[in-house]
Each structure stands twice: as C-alpha cells, then as structure tokens.
Structure 1
C-alpha cells in the first residue's frame, strides 16, 4: 500500500458534471474552469456541453410560454438548485422591461428531498410541526435568492386540511414600496429602486404525500444587492469554523435581528457567501492540491501517520480506498482479535456523489474503523463495475492480514 507516485496518469484536470455524470477532462485548469462557469462568472455544477444541449433543444430562444416556462420535478436539493439556476442563466438577463411577460416557474421536490441535513419534506408533512415547516419554507426562499438574485419577503401563511402554503413578494416590487412610510424608515444604505415586477413566490408543502411545490412568478430587473460580509460576520464564522457551513448559515439567519447585526441586511446573506468565508478559514487544514480534489485527498491521506492508500483502487473519479491506523498498526492492534467485522455504506454525503463504504471491527468492546472506500461507478459501462471493485477492496484487506470469521452487512452485493 505505497502512496508514492500518485501523480501518475493525472496529467490533466478533471471535474464531474452533475448533469451527464461524466468526468470532464481538459489539459489546463483555465480550460476546465470555463466549462463550469456561467456567462457572469458564477461557478456551476453542470458542464457547458450539457447547458448548450439544453439551449439547443429550445432552439436557442426563450422557451415558448405555456402554463410554466419551466416545470421541473427534482429528487434532490442539488438537482433543484442546478435546474433552476441553469434555466435562469439562459432566460433572465436582469433587465427590466415593463412590456415583458412574467417568467413562471414550477419546481416540485419529491418526498425524500432534504432541504437541510435535518429538514426533509417527509418530516414537514408527517410531524405537522409549524416551526419545522416554516424553517423549510425560509430555506427554500433563500435558495430562490441564490438562484435568481431576487429576495422575496414573507407575506402570509395559509393552511388547509391537505397543505400549508407560504407566500412571498419580491422585496423590490412597487407593491412593497407603497406599504412603507418613507418618513418612518431609518436608513443605513442607499435607497432601493423599485419595479413593477409583480414578483410572487409560493411554497406549498403537501401533508398527504410530503412533496413541496415552489411556484415562482416574476418580471426580471436588476438583482437585489446581497449582504456585504462584515468583520463581525467573518469573526463569527472564524470562531465557529468547526461547525458545518450549513449550521453556521442557519445560526446567522436566526441571529439576523440581534442587536449586533441590527444595522445590516444579514437576513439576505446566502449559503454560498457563508461557505466561501468558511472555506477561506479552513481549506489550509485539508487542501493539498487546489486544482484536483482527488489528488488533494490522496496527498492528505499520505501525509497522515498510519493512513495508507490501497493499491489498485486509486482511479480518479471512480475509486479511492485507504486503511486507518487501527489496521496498519499491527503492534497496537492485533489482527487475530479482529474475528468479526461489519460493512456499512452511505450515500449523498459529498459534492461529487461518491458512495462511501467502511469496514469496522469490534475490538475490546470498542468499534474501530479499519478501512474506507469512496466509489462512484456511474460513469463506467462494464459488467460488475461495482462488485469487481468491492471484491478488490476486500481482497486487499485479506491479503494484508484481515481474516474474520464473521462478516455482518445489510447490503446485498449479489447484483453489484
């Protein structure tokens, strides 16, 4: 399990497209970056080829108006964000035209969609917890802000026997302007410009099937200015950098009306802004190659005492396996006592979509992780593509001295 020469066969740059599920390779970093940015420089998860193909299907023109300009069904939160963002990149130039039709979008999130790690559509429907439902609606509202550049303010919430509906209006709508008394506004920023945009957003959570329907209707205009990250916010993120970016974001949204932030528009901060600041504080701890996530992971594993890469399972974009000190340190951990092991796996835990497998053992009444395997075979077309790599992983562990008498797993590997 030698981690030397791990740069072999990695002479080009690559990134996985979440739309076509293939690994996009380019000779230079600049060429690769151009494949995954919008026309205004925003990073995207789908490649330019997929976006061009979608535009080609619509003839390169705005989609003919039917009931909705975009009517999409999404199984994951990432698919929803990517679908709406990609569509608006093509069809919203952020220029106000009073004669233009309002753009209408409907997005349906399936029952199993997680808006946050602890907020699912199923929980919102089954528990009947109004606080949880409100939190989900506000998170989805903020997602729309991220995707569109328009901030929507809460208007009302109505509940029926089979659904709960949250309604919002665009913060730059003339309707909002007429509701405000200019003499009572204590202003800390430049006065806003308002538009007759007729911006409406409805988030409907079904109590019957647990799905969520997002209905967006809006006439485009200049984007709502996003929150300027202040020193106080940067300090808070730095102090809490051991938390996940999502948790920090949730905390900041809850603190938006605290006295220390009362002169700011903290409620308009986006997840991406929080993530970017958090990343600037933490990336030095784990990033070893800024141009290649796979190589960066290999280098990080290689420099840690007792962690070793597993030969034969170092395929960029497909597999990465390694063992922990609990397995490599034969002096402190007697492999003869590892007579019973457990194989577990999890999914949707990382941005590249790898499946994560782990082999654990019970050692002196303590569970110890022995080895991990990151695996993604979606872009491979061959018989037994997953099974052959799992077999190679187990074989490597056996050859290195792991010979259990009992193996526990809740997975059926027969059809892998």
Structure 2
C-alpha cells in the first residue's frame, strides 16, 4: 500500500514537470540506483568529492553531479548516520539545504532521497493546527524557486576483496538547475541551547539574548525566550492544570513563601501567598503600604495584586494575589475576595500601617477601609493626575451628576445658579462606581475656619463711693474678622447666551493651570505653612474656594461639577488630599508597586505570549524576590559600608545640589519664611518637592559633607530631615537676621584697621592677581593655537569660534573702543557711568605718556 502511494505521488510529480521543466533524473518511477551506475566519478575521499561539488555549483547554474568515494568502516557509526552527515556537508559546500523526501529500501546499507528546501515544486502544503482555539497565521515563509532539485545519498558496504568488507561506499547524485539565494538557517544552534540550559537558574531571558546573539547573530530573542521557557519547565511545572501546579510549586518553595488558605466563593479563582522572608523581618516596622494590580500577566487572565511595604523610602513586596471574578455573579465579590486576602496578611504578619496607597479603584479602597480602618487612604498622585488629564482632554459636556444643594450646604460661597447647562452622565464616576459608604454631608452652614475671632473684655470703672467689689461678670464684645476673599464674580448664567453649542469641557490653555492647582491642593498640609489656617478644615475651605473661583472666572461649569463630585466633596476629598493625617506626612507620593510591574513585564514577560500561572509564580519567587532579599538584608544590618542603597538617595543628592546652585532674589520675598529648625518653607516649590526641599532651606543650611547624603534620615513630621550636620544655625547666620554691611577694604580708615583686616585685604589681592594671570595665560595660549589653525582653512572651526566666543569678542571690542576714545582728542569722550560692558576696564596710556 505504501509503495503504491509512493508510485502514484511520483507520477503526479512527473506530470507536473512535463509541461514546464525537463523531468530530472529519478522522476517517473525510474530506478535511481540503476541510473547512477556507470555515470559516477570516483574520488579518493570526502574532501575531494565535496570540493568537486563546490566547484560545480560555482561554475554553472545547472548542476548534474554523480560521484562516489570510499570510507573506512566505523563500527560506531551506522549507515544512516553517515548519510545524514554527508547531507550536512553538502549543505555547507553548496549553500543549499536539502530536506528528506523518503528512504527507499536497498539490499545493504541505507539510502535517502532529498529535495531542495527552497524548491517551488516541492513546497509542502500547510497543515492547520489541531489545537483547540488555535488561530491561523498568515506566515508567508521563505522565498521559493523553480530549481528542479534532487539529491540522492546512498551508503553501502564496498565489495569485499577476498573476505569481510572493511569499506563503505558513499554515492551522491545531485540535480539543481537554478541559482538562487542560499538557505538561511533560522534554527537555534546546539551551542546556543547549551548556553540557555546552563544559565536557567542564574540569568533572565533578556540577559541571555545579548550573550547568545553576540556569538550567533541569526538567533532571535523570541527563540531564546521560547527555548528558556521549554527548558525551564522542569523547574516550575508540576501539573498540567495551572493553578494546581502553582500550588504544588509553592509547597516546594516553602522556605521562601507561605500560602494563604482563604475561603473561595463560587465562580472566583484565587491563589495568594506571603513572602515570609521579607514580611517577617519587617514585623512592627511598616508604616506605609501600597496596593496595586496589573493585568495581562498570565494565560488564565488572573489579575495580579501586590502589597508592598515601605522601608527606608523603598518598596518591598509582602504578598501577592492572583484573582479572577469574571464568572461570579454576586455583587461585591472582588471586594470580599481582596478583604479575605489582606485580612490574613494583616493577621499573619501583624501588619497595621498608618498609610495605605492605592489607585482610584473603589474595590481596593473599600477593602482598605475594612481591613485597616484607622489608616489614611492615600490616592497615588500619578493616577490622580492621569485621570484629570484624560477627563479634561475629552470634549464631551455630559459630566458627573452634580448635587448643588449639598455643595451649598457645605460651603455658602457656592452659587446655586452655577450648574452645568447640559445633561448629566450617571455612569461617569472616577473609580468606576459610586462609593456607597460615603459619609452624608451636613446641610447646616459651617463656620469659616479661616476667619479670625477676637474677644475684647469691657473694662469696668471702680466706684470710689462704694465698697462693693466689682462685678465679676464683665460685658464682652465679640468682633468677627472674616477671611479675605476675592470679590464674587458674576456667574456666567447672568450673561450666558441661549446657544451653548460652542461650549467645551475645558479649553486647552486652562488644563495645565487646573492640574497645577489640584497638585497644589494635593500637597497642602497643616505641617507646611501656606495660605490657609494650619488645619484640615481650613485648608479644604481654601482649596475649594480657590478651585471654585477659578471655574467661575472661566465659566467651567461642567469641569466644576466633575471636580466637586469626584475630588472635592466630602468622602472623596479625604482619599487624595494628604492633610487628613495632620501630624505626619507620607513618604510615598506615587504608587510603589508600579516599578515592580515594570520589572516583571520588561525583564521577564515581554516575550512570553500568555505565560502559565505556575511560570509567573516561579518568576516572582525565584527571579524577582532575591534582589529584594539582598536589599532588605543590607538595609536592616549594619555592615560598615554603604552598598546598594535605595535609588532615592541619588535623586535626593541631585535635587540638593541643584537647589544649592539656584540664585536667590534679594531681598527675599516677605511671603517666604524658611525655617531650618523645623525644615519648612512657605515658598510654593517646597510643598510640591518630592523630598521637601527648596533653595531657601538648602542655602540657609550649613555646608554638608558627602556622607550626609548616605546617612540623612527623612521623617514624617517636622523636622522632615535630620542629620548631625543639619544643626540649627546661630542667630548670626540664621535667615531673617540682618547682618551689618561690610565696607570695601579701600574705604576703611588705615588708622582703624587691624592686622587681621590687612591680612584679609592682602589675601583678596593675591587671589585676584592669580586668577587674572590664569585667564591671561589661557587667552595667550589659545591665541597661539588660533594662529596654528590658519593653515588648515577650516571654515567650520571659524564659525564655531565666532558662535561660541561671541561674548568674549564683543567684550574685547568694547574695551578696545573705550581705550581708543579715551586716548584720542577727537570725538566725544567716555563718561564714568555709561552703560557698557567695558565700564570697569582701565585703559592703557597713550604712546606719548608711556613710561612717564
């Protein structure tokens, strides 16, 4: 049956070539072995035969080669292995790779027929994948050519000479009738696979890409990642079912992690674990945690959640959770699942932080309020700014439903007529849903926390005619000084046109101002002096009033409704304004897990298409965690050296140096009050600074040594930075204390000068002379160098000199012109205080007066 199918296939091939090509040797069912007899050229060995093949392919486009040679019988190699080795050598000699067609049976030895891999007539039909859910791909493949190819290699025992044969005969027949591009091998070499196998445990796929491609440029990054994934299965795959395999894997990694056996509802997929090698050393030391989720990390579409703890301004992962609630029908299922996970995390490691950083996901916020009821929920500024920019850039006018009565009941300066003109969108809420546990607002009018109240006691006149003691109940007069507010601007509704079709949500030129204003409100805190009462209610009233006045002045009705309902009303304001904790300020401003997600996706998951869950768990525990182990060990143990310090210290040093070089306008603005004792300043830059720095504080502080940037400690209350070198300054050097003006040395009476003053003047003169001589020598040497450049006539250098040295040339010309004007009797002379860059240039005497 097999032979009949083979003969039928060969007949079809011969029919296909009959009209377009000359049928090559071996088509049509002829006996190839018989065709070879008597035509082959005998060669002494394989080297001579391969050289003849190489010459044949180089000399002519049509190659018809038949040759044979003998080899010594190697008992360790079979005839089949010999044939395969010869085919590989022919590929190297000709540049064309041949693939196996069939293996006809012969009496003794082994025989294989090949076709050129790039032969158009021998293209294999694509076979669709049988996997369930497989998507067909438009893979074009390599270019094909009508080369009418054939290769036959046979290995037989040589004819014996008077006994047992100790030789093998290799017969080769080649047909190839078109010159085309050589075969480009895209397979991974065995040496590259060995490199992957040897570095499974100590290198990431991205690290291996550079090493392997340096030796084998044809290997792609996807091939390396695929090889790494397949070979590493023995390290992380425990079962065909992904969740079962992940649980078994964590049991094997029990020295590093511990699973949380939480109750799982119907329709919920959840697996969570704690990083005990990180969480246990941090018990009782965690003040801030960050919670965030990421997507598209595994083939089961489970969301990956993480809780990171802050220690020394750096984030360390305490626990991970893989969760999917797509098939559950109960309301609040995700919140309950997250609550069970974080509750076990809290109880297992005694985790009770003061700050919980989240994005604007209401399920995470509700969970945090339940598990850590006393903690301050703090929205990430990066997510807040992103949400604001996205909403302000959209043109649609429909906005969040605006409850004007509650707004007026809370702040009386809000006008009931300042409402959006268009319809509302009940589905537009930041966070995806309305927070049902929002505290109800009180409708009664509140007192202005920014007002000042004075109570004056009325003085009583003592009566001289009576001995009765004065009345102890003195009359009092109460005077209320209201907070200074801007004059109320007439609402846009008074002059609004009936046609509102040209309105937009927020003009382009106002978006940056609005976001900057929200950032200013985000950074305000009672510990930082500002423009409102140093209390949470006072700051909130100031922020709402400032934002409301800005929206009224620019007729941003829809924007005000959106801002009030999503950010400034009670229940939402407490989530993002950091002033709720009036006694301390958090260290994190952006969500810490975001950097961890970047590492996972960039270093490991970038080239994996939907990796398995167990592979993801293995990467998190064995590839990501060791770096955190090392950093935590160095942070909690004194080794006498400063190694692998958190990255924030470099950024802190950079900001400090930058603030040290910035000029300060003199006299200092009366609104700016730097206080190095408490390390606070009222300038706008201080509250927005990542490290609570400003040029006024940095330049008012004493000079610091390099070790300061390695040892300084950041606090959550005043003073925000402490170090032995940041001692409070004395009254003589403290900012704000006016120092007596120093007179120039030449204006001081010589009879009153002390020896120290004379020494100081002499030192200043010597320093000036040395500095001036250095500049003169530099210019003189540079002038000689310029003269040397004339012979090259390079106009590009001349243009560079004129462009970069323009200021110096203008100064030289001004000085020379001033000297010519003073040394001539014609024209108008120079004045003492004329506006010129050469005003302080002392001119040389004229030629007649030199030496006199």
Q: What TM-score do the two structures reach when normalised by structure 1?
A: 0.40
Larger RCO, structures 1/2 (Cα 8 Å, 6+ apart): 1
More helix by share: 2
- Which one has the largest radius of gyration? 2
